[in-house]
């Protein structure tokens, strides 16, 4: 919403400065986006007098002018068609910054002749769009005077209006808020009905059913004859130009002015082009309207139109029709002032993609009581600027019912706002906003003004009082809280943080990727349900909710490889989606390693990532989440996006806690990954939460005074035997004495035979009662050999 200072002052009596007004507007919730003060950028320009304007010796279309500055006479080359002797012009001398270019003017040489200055157009000064020629100032303008002293230059405010403040889409509404806050006083708006000189030859009616009556509750108008649709007076043109509107003709300018000034869009038809009377109705499906913007629209029966006997002549609240628009020749008009349903107007505008100042206001809601007053004000303006005479008004529909009073308890202001405002001040604020305030100091009876549809209940009035009184005045209070802060995170929240930092500590870099992915990829990762495809994706790359975090990490690895970073270790914590209903998502920690595990180094060879890197990450994540590392079963099964022979699941009973392994080569290829890639996916919610304990004390540490003994065994087993089975069997051989079993060698090859492998394990015996004798150690060793043999068919390697 743009307006100038002088426009504001047509409604507001104030001595406040531009800065004070801007500050107050913002603190009233009418946020000032910018204040543009043209005087500041035009301080260097002066009035020049063209003494001579001769043809340029070397160019037919240029003029060589002698321009008086009051102190000197300059030679200026000018290309404007209207440059001629006797003109009073706006002159820039070298060094002055030209607003349109942002550059300082330099002495120039144009076709061999020196030019010592520049005569400017409106556009060059950024004061308008006119660039037909140079500005012609009035002939009596004093030569040498600063431009800012001889033309009307108005600071322009640009204010952003929140959707609840439809009333501030008019300058008067803004002035009213400022006045209510004490920054001046609102000037009265006198509405004196114009007595009609004749009966309107055009009548108005509402052709709506009771169900659709809300589409147009009121339609008023009147006819004019004998008028002349010439140019608007300078003050009106100045107002419109300053806020970026182009003056067109008096009638069009009047409707624009009423829109901005009083937030009251209205429409003027060329009465000579109308057939019969006007009525408001819903459009018939298939009807068309050629609109004032030069486009033709196909209408349907959700849209309100103003129609005559020939068909729709305007799209209610949105745009007028071209066929009945006014022109310079227009002498008879019909003025339409109506109310339209905001929602219907918004829907129509959206459907047809028409943005207009009228739509913007109608869809936010107009003052329903202002139809007839607006008609009278517009009538006076038309008669004043265009002459002619007005008919008696015609009105269809009715004024809205009087608004009921709202009970307002002033104490609610202190309760909600935390600020004491004297009752008298509250009364003054509410009355300043246009409310009628009755009742006593304990309880007001407040009737809000017709232009404030947003005020419907007590809390709205509380807000108004606090807002106008000022948020700055509210004393700040500390949140009451315990003297020593208590933990606030849940067990799940705490461990999510531990998992994150544990993975990062392992050298994996955390990233955050989209919750969506290309639907084609979703299918490769167990997703692809149509219910989880977005109805309105931003692009086809982001059109499905992700069923897994891995595809986005794979894509990220590919992007990094393209940038020359081939060794990648990335993880993400976030949701993946298995159903479309709220809550059908899993909290995941997933990671991807690709390329080599470390950069090349002089001390050791590098190696490519392998499934055990991913398994280690998964185990670390589960351990950080407090999972029971001991109770996890490792099963050589994983979903299809993993390499079938190099992947596995980590399970707790029937629950899958994690998958890990090498990414299936076909999937890796789909992401253009050259080398191997391994990944893991941990279902964080599948890791059981530790039981709450009554005490934080650790179990007592028991250490044996006797040295542990290590014994090594090498078993030859079938290739298909899981190492885990050998380890478990060995451990179970003597639970009292065997404290640990680890695998330290794996061999497959000619020495053990086809289809076999050799697994070397180290068994640690921890005596607890006494040092073991050789015979006792041998006995345990025999039990290990026996147990492994029975469980896996393994025999000691000869």
Of residues 340 through 359, those in contact with another protein by CB under 8 A are: 342-343, 346-347, 350
User: Residue 509, Cβ neighbours under 10 Å: how many?
Assistant: 12
Please identify, using beta-carbon distances, which residue of 252 and 590 lies nearer to another protein: 590
**Which of 123, 506, 651, 783 forms a contact with another protein (CB under 8 A)?**
506
Please identify, using beta-carbon distances, which residue of 312 and 417 lies nearer to another protein: 417
**Which of 19, 538, 635, 689 forms a contact with another protein (CB under 8 A)?**
538
**In 99-240, where do the E strands start and end?**
103-104, 108-110, 113-115, 118-119, 156-160, 185-186, 204-206, 218-225
Instruction: Give the contacts of 203 (CB within 8 A, at least 6 positions apart).
Output: 277, 278, 394
Binding residues for another protein restricted to 645-664, rule: CB under 8 A: none
**Inter-residue contact 625 to 684 (CB < 8 Å):** yes
Binding residues for another protein restricted to 256-295, rule: CB under 8 A: none
Among 28-36, 47-55, 72-80, 137-145, which window interacts with another protein (CB under 8 A)? Answer: 28-36
Assigned token pair, 72: 């000197």
Binding residues for another protein restricted to 206-235, rule: CB under 8 A: none
Distance of alpha carbon 330 from the chain centroid: 45
Shortest distance in whole angstroms from residue 284 CB to another protein: 24
d(CA 467, CA 459): 12
Rounded alpha-carbon distances, angstroms, from residue 602 to 564, 599, 606: 22, 10, 10
Cα Rg, the chain, nearest whole Å: 42
**Inter-residue contact 611 to 704 (CB < 8 Å):** no
Binding residues for another protein restricted to 458-477, rule: CB under 8 A: 459-460, 462-463, 466-467, 471-472, 474-477
Please identify, using beta-carbon distances, which residue of 404 and 755 lies nearer to another protein: 404
d(CA 343, CA 432): 29
**Inter-residue contact 178 to 26 (CB < 8 Å):** no
**Which of 512, 701, 703, 775 forms a contact with another protein (CB under 8 A)?**
512
**Which of 15, 479, 700, 701 forms a contact with another protein (CB under 8 A)?**
479
Among 206-214, 224-232, 384-392, 538-546, which window interacts with another protein (CB under 8 A)? Answer: 538-546
Pick from 323, 377, 328, 324: nearest CA to 228:
328
How many chain residues interact with another protein (CB under 8 A)? 101
**Which of 104, 213, 509, 779 forms a contact with another protein (CB under 8 A)?**
509
**Would you say the C-alpha torsion 609, 610, 615, 618 has a positive or negative sign?**
positive
**Which backbone phi and psi does 789 adopt, to 5 degrees?**
-60, -45
Shortest distance in whole angstroms from residue 358 CB to another protein: 18
**Inter-residue contact 57 to 177 (CB < 8 Å):** no
Assigned token pair, 508: 């994996």
**Which of 44, 537, 688, 789 forms a contact with another protein (CB under 8 A)?**
537
Shortest distance in whole angstroms from residue 531 CB to another protein: 6
Burial class (CB in 10 A: 0-12, 13-18, 19+), 700: exposed
Residue 720: DSSP 8-state: T
Rounded alpha-carbon distances, angstroms, from residue 500 to 281, 496, 569, 681: 63, 6, 14, 13
Shortest distance in whole angstroms from residue 83 CB to another protein: 41
Rounded alpha-carbon distances, angstroms, from residue 450 to 166, 186, 400, 454: 12, 17, 9, 10
Q: x/- contact string, 481-500, with another protein (CB under 8 A)?
A: xx--xxxxxx--x---x--x
**Which of 18, 40, 213, 534 forms a contact with another protein (CB under 8 A)?**
534
Shortest distance in whole angstroms from residue 386 CB to another protein: 38
Please identify, using beta-carbon distances, which residue of 29 and 626 lies nearer to another protein: 29
**Which of 568, 589, 663, 682 forms a contact with another protein (CB under 8 A)?**
568
Binding residues for another protein restricted to 54-113, rule: CB under 8 A: none
User: Residue 600, Cβ neighbours under 10 Å: how many?
Assistant: 8
Establish how many alpha carbons lie within 13 A of residue 617's alpha carbon, considering only the half-sphere containing its beta carbon: 33
Rule CB under 8 A: say whether 31 interacts with another protein. yes
Shortest distance in whole angstroms from residue 513 CB to another protein: 6
Please identify, using beta-carbon distances, which residue of 207 and 559 lies nearer to another protein: 559
Binding residues for another protein restricted to 404-433, rule: CB under 8 A: 414-419
Shortest distance in whole angstroms from residue 450 CB to another protein: 20
**Inter-residue contact 730 to 784 (CB < 8 Å):** yes
Rounded alpha-carbon distances, angstroms, from residue 251 to 2, 129, 269, 336, 745: 21, 20, 10, 12, 96
Among 104-112, 243-251, 524-532, 716-724, which window interacts with another protein (CB under 8 A)? Answer: 524-532
Please identify, using beta-carbon distances, which residue of 26 and 82 lies nearer to another protein: 26
Among 119-127, 291-299, 561-569, 730-738, which window interacts with another protein (CB under 8 A)? Answer: 561-569
**Would you say the C-alpha torsion 376, 289, 244, 231 has a positive or negative sign?**
negative
Binding residues for another protein restricted to 573-632, rule: CB under 8 A: 573-575, 577, 580-585, 597-599, 601-604
Q: x/- contact string, 106-125, with another protein (CB under 8 A)?
A: --------------------
Rounded alpha-carbon distances, angstroms, from residue 486 to 162, 306, 478, 495, 625: 40, 66, 17, 17, 22
Pick from 679, 677, 681: nearest CA to 566:
677
Please identify, using beta-carbon distances, which residue of 602 and 700 lies nearer to another protein: 602
Q: Which residues on neighbouring strands pair with residue 738, listed in sequence order?
A: 765
Burial class (CB in 10 A: 0-12, 13-18, 19+), 20: middle
Please identify, using beta-carbon distances, which residue of 82 and 560 lies nearer to another protein: 560
**Inter-residue contact 715 to 654 (CB < 8 Å):** no
**Inter-residue contact 281 to 305 (CB < 8 Å):** yes
Shortest distance in whole angstroms from residue 282 CB to another protein: 18
Q: Is 348 left (phi over 0), alpha (psi -120 to 50) or beta?
A: alpha
**Which of 61, 195, 563, 702 forms a contact with another protein (CB under 8 A)?**
563
d(CA 729, CA 665): 34
Please identify, using beta-carbon distances, which residue of 29 and 639 lies nearer to another protein: 29
Rule CB under 8 A: say whether 33 interacts with another protein. no
Among 84-92, 269-277, 453-461, 736-744, which window interacts with another protein (CB under 8 A)? Answer: 453-461
Shortest distance in whole angstroms from residue 661 CB to another protein: 20
Shortest distance in whole angstroms from residue 704 CB to another protein: 35
Please identify, using beta-carbon distances, which residue of 310 and 689 lies nearer to another protein: 689
Shortest distance in whole angstroms from residue 260 CB to another protein: 21
Binding residues for another protein restricted to 231-250, rule: CB under 8 A: none
Please identify, using beta-carbon distances, which residue of 74 and 468 lies nearer to another protein: 468
Establish how many alpha carbons lie within 13 A of residue 255's alpha carbon, considering only the half-sphere containing its beta carbon: 23
Please identify, using beta-carbon distances, which residue of 16 and 760 lies nearer to another protein: 16
Please identify, using beta-carbon distances, which residue of 328 and 416 lies nearer to another protein: 416
Among 99-107, 382-390, 502-510, 733-741, which window interacts with another protein (CB under 8 A)? Answer: 502-510
Shortest distance in whole angstroms from residue 609 CB to another protein: 11
Please identify, using beta-carbon distances, which residue of 536 and 773 lies nearer to another protein: 536
Place of tokens 């955050």: 512
Place of tokens 């305007």: 314
Binding residues for another protein restricted to 126-165, rule: CB under 8 A: 162-165
Q: Measured over all CA atoms, what is the biggest interatomic distance in the chain, rounded to whole angstroms? A: 131
Rule CB under 8 A: say whether 29 interacts with another protein. yes
**Which of 55, 106, 288, 501 forms a contact with another protein (CB under 8 A)?**
501
Assigned token pair, 616: 């280690």
């Amino acid at each position: 919403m743009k307006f100038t200072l002088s426009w504001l002052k047509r409604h507001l009596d104030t001595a406040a400065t531009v800065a004070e007004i801007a500050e107050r507007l913002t603190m009233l919730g009418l946020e000032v986006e910018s204040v543009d003060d043209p005087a500041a950028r035009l301080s260097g320009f002066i009035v020049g007098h063209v003494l001579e304007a001769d043809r340029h010796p070397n160019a037919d279309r240029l003029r060589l002018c002698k321009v008086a500055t009051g102190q000197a006479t300059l030679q200026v080359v000018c290309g404007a068609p209207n440059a001629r002797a006797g003109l009073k012009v706006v002159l820039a001398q070298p060094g002055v910054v030209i607003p349109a270019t942002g550059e300082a003017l330099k002495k120039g040489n144009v076709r061999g002749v020196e030019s010592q200055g520049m005569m400017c157009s409106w556009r060059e000064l950024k004061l308008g769009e006119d660039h037909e020629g140079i500005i012609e100032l009035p002939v009596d303008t004093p030569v040498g005077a600063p431009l800012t002293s001889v033309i009307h230059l108005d600071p322009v405010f640009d204010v952003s209006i929140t959707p609840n403040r439809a009333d501030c889409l008019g300058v008067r509404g803004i002035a009213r808020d400022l006045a209510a806050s004490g920054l001046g006083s609102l000037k009265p708006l006198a509405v004196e009905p114009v007595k009609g000189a004749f009966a309107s030859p055009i009548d108005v009616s509402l052709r709506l059913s009771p169900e659709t009556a809300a589409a147009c509750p009121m339609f008023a108008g009147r006819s004019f004859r004998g008028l002349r649709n010439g140019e608007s007076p300078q003050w009106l043109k100045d107002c419109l130009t300053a806020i970026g509107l182009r003056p067109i003709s008096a009638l069009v300018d009047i409707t624009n002015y009423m829109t901005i000034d009083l937030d009251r869009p209205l429409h003027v038809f060329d009465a000579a082009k109308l057939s019969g009377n006007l009525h408001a109705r819903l459009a018939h499906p298939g009807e068309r309207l050629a609109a004032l913007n030069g486009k033709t629209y196909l209408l349907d029966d959700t849209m309100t139109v103003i129609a005559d006997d020939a068909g729709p002549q305007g799209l209610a609240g949105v745009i007028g029709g071209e066929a009945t628009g006014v022109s310079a020749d227009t002498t008879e008009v019909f003025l339409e002032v109506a109310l339209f349903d905001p929602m219907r107007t918004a829907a129509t505008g959206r459907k047809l993609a028409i943005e207009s100042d009228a739509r913007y206001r109608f869809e936010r809601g107009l003052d329903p009581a202002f139809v007839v007053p607006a008609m009278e004000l517009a009538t006076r303006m038309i008669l004043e600027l265009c002459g002619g005479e007005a008919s008696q008004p015609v009105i269809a529909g009715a004024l809205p019912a009087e608004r009921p009073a709202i009970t307002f308890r002033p104490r609610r202001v202190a309760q909600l706002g935390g600020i004491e405002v004297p009752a008298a001040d509250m009364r003054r604020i509410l009355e300043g906003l246009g409310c009628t305030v009755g009742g006593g100091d304990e309880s007001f009876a407040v009737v809000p003004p017709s232009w404030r549809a947003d005020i419907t209940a007590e809390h709205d009035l509380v807000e108004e009082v606090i807002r106008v009184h000022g948020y700055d005045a509210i004393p700040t209070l500390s949140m009451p809280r315990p003297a020593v802060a208590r933990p606030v995170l849940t067990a799940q929240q705490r461990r999510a943080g531990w998992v994150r930092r544990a993975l990062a500590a392992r050298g994996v870099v955390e990233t955050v990727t989209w919750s969506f992915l290309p639907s084609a990829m979703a299918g490769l990762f167990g997703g692809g349900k149509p219910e989880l495809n977005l109805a309105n994706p931003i692009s086809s790359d982001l059109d499905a909710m992700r069923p897994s975090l891995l595809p986005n990490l794979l894509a990220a690895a590919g992007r990094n490889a393209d940038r020359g970073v081939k060794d990648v270790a990335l993880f993400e914590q976030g949701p993946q989606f298995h159903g479309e209903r709220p809550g059908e998502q899993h909290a995941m920690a997933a990671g991807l390693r690709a390329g080599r595990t470390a950069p090349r180094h002089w001390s050791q060879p590098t190696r490519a990532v392998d499934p055990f890197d991913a398994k280690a990450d998964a185990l670390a994540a589960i351990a950080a989440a407090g999972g029971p590392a001991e109770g996890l079963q490792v099963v050589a099964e994983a979903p299809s996006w993993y390499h079938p022979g190099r992947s596995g699941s980590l399970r707790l009973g029937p629950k899958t806690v994690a998958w890990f392994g090498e990414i299936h080569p076909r999937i890796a290829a789909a992401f253009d990954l050259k080398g191997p890639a391994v990944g893991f996916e941990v279902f964080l919610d599948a890791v059981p939460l530790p039981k709450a304990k009554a005490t934080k004390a650790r179990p007592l540490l028991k250490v044996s005074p006797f040295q542990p003994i290590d014994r090594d065994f090498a078993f030859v087993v079938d290739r298909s035997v899981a190492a885990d089975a050998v380890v478990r069997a060995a451990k179970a051989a003597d639970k009292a004495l065997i404290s640990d079993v680890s695998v330290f060698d794996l061999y497959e090859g000619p020495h053990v035979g086809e289809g076999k492998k050799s697994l070397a394990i180290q068994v640690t015996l921890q005596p607890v009662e006494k040092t073991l004798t050789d015979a006792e150690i041998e006995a345990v060793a025999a039990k290990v050999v026996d147990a492994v043999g029975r469980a896996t068919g393994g025999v000691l390697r000869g």
